[in-house]
Amino acid sequence: MNRIHTQGSSGAKLDYSLPNITRVLLVHAGLLFAFKVGISWVAFATFMVTYYVKLFAVSGVFHRYYTHRSYEMGRGFCFLWSFIGCTAGQRGPLSWTTVHSKHHQHSDKKGDPHSPVQRGLFYAHLGWLLAKEPLPTSDALVRKYKDRPEILWLDRHYNVPFIALFVLLYALGAWLESSFPALGTSPGQMMLWGGLASSILLLHSTCSLNSFAHVFGIRVRETPDNSRNLWWLYPFLVGENYHNNHHKFPRSANFGVDKRQYDLLFFVLLVFQKLGLVKNVRDASRTLREKDLLAPEPSLNR
């Protein structure tokens, strides 16, 4: 009774979940509270910081570490960034990896969870998240991480970091309001801009790769899908927008493999490598012939 059926552009039946539709609508409607709480320069700065920190956690860790193993990192540092990644509201690292791995294995073909070629632009951008179970966790990944109970716990309890961030932002906002009233900052501002708005913008930024970056932009390399580099997404994704490059070299931690392409997330990884926090950061711009960078993604069932 809680399912809605429609037809996609390819004729495939789209199975929507009413609870998921309601949840997504309510989350977006929460932005209307901006008219009540307003914004201060502190709240805006918090929005910017939380957005780009969450971006690195999702794109630099969920994507480049968990899904593609484009570098190595220690257990403690991995848990820290995995915890931060969950504050983005895109569920846990293993469920995120499960879906993205399927995308690479079946990109723009039957089996791709969010292909505009198969099911249209809206479904690829947001509609797939309205499905009954849009972000499952692969049993194979659960077995793979059986010796990392902290990651399994985090993947099951992904809402804990998300809620913890709101609690932290509320406390910070209350302290600023009482101690520095001239700043005009309130707990509501901090939660809205640092917690909700930054997560919604990040959601649409990452989903734009699923949708717009498989329809618009330029193709500089031949791939078996319709992936493209989309320049106008750069302010929001600072390197992830080189999507065609990524599909050609999925195991490269650097997506900006050509001249005048600057992948800021990759630069952060290089800094972490200098500090000894990560190692073996793969870079396809150094050699486009390394077999491990050109190799297809491993199946989750192997």
Instruction: Give the residue extent of every domain in the chain.
Output: 3-294
pLDDT value, residue 136:
84
pLDDT value, residue 289:
46
Q: What is the dihedral of CA 62, 97, 199, 217, to 10 degrees?
A: 90
pLDDT value, residue 12:
52
Q: Token match 């609508």: residue? A: 25
Distance between CA 82 and CA 267 in Å, rounded?
A: 19
What is the maximum alpha-carbon separation in the chain? 59
pLDDT in tens, the chain (302 residues): 454 444 444 445 567 888 889 999 999 999 999 999 999 999 999 999 999 999 999 999 999 999 999 999 999 999 999 999 999 999 999 999 999 999 999 999 999 999 999 999 999 999 999 987 777 899 999 999 999 999 999 999 999 999 999 999 999 999 999 999 999 999 999 999 999 999 999 999 999 999 999 999 999 999 999 999 999 999 999 999 999 999 999 999 999 999 889 999 999 999 999 999 999 999 987 655 454 454 444 444 43
How far is CA 293 from each of CA 18, 70, 144, 183, 285, rounded to the nearest angstrom?
A: 41, 9, 22, 49, 10
pLDDT value, residue 225:
95
145 neighbors 240 (Cβ within 8 angstroms): no
pLDDT value, residue 132:
74
Surface-to-core class of residue 71, CB atoms within 10 Å of its CB (0-12 exposed, 13-18 middle, 19+ buried): buried
Distance between CA 119 and CA 130 in Å, rounded?
A: 13
pLDDT value, residue 176:
98
pTM reported for the whole predicted model: 0.90
Q: What are phi and psi of 80, to 5 degrees?
A: -60, -50
For residue 62, give both structure tokens. 């969920």
Distance between CA 252 and CA 284 in Å, rounded?
A: 5
